Amino acid sequence: MKRFLKAIFVTILLTCMMIIPASAAEDQAINVGDERYQIMVPGFIETRDMTINGETRTVIVVQKPEECSKYRYQFFDVVTTDANATYIISFVYNSKLEAVGDYVTDLENGRASFVPYLYDDFNEFSKEPIYCKISFTAIGDQTIYDFPIWVLFEDKK
């Protein structure tokens, strides 16, 4: 009987050890200075301070997304409670601050998936942190809030 219970215990322990790494990444709400503007990050791993171009930056580390369609990857969802924000205009830059993508989309009920069109091979430039500048915009093309964020993608573990 002891062997049987020990075998069950070891099986449960091994199963738990296999589940923990898979659940290490989770969805996380991130804001930068104003809680009315956030991103919902699937596969959030951690925030990390990194030196980029000689300056220390806080970087959001997330699981690398799958390709949605040619040159498009869903990075995260953009969310706002500001009723004046009607759409976002955004640009994506590599770690050298060279433009590698852009995206413009309407907000529906204060939310939009961030799926930028990328100019270059995502697998190449995503090895380094990526800078995303997202501007929440009102009718009449008035920028009401800029949401700058550094993101580092890591392979799923």
Hey, which CATH number is domain 25-154, 3.40.190.80, 1.10.260.40, 2.60.40.2550, 1.20.1540.10? 2.60.40.2550
CA atoms of 104 and 117, how far apart (whole Å): 9
Per-residue model confidence as pLDDT tens digits over 89-125:
999 999 999 999 999 999 999 999 999 999 988 988 8
**What's the confidence (pLDDT) of residue 133?**
96
Percent composition of the chain: helix, strand, coil (DSSP 3-state, to 5) = 15, 55, 30
CA atoms of 85 and 100, how far apart (whole Å): 25
- pTM, two decimals, is 0.77
Domain locations in the chain as residue ranges: 25-154
Q: For 2-17, what is the mean pLDDT?
A: 38
Residue 16: other Cβ atoms inside 10 A: 9
Spell out where 66-107 has E strands: 67-69, 72-73, 76-80, 87-93, 99-106
Query: Over pLDDT 90: what percentage of the chain?
Result: 64
| Averaged pLDDT score across all residues of the chain | 84
**What's the confidence (pLDDT) of residue 25?**
60
Are 112 and 78 spatial neighbours (Cβ–Cβ below 8 Å)?
Answer: yes
**What's the confidence (pLDDT) of residue 4?**
40
For residue 64, how far is the Cα from the chain centroid? 9
Tokens read off for 149: 């964020």
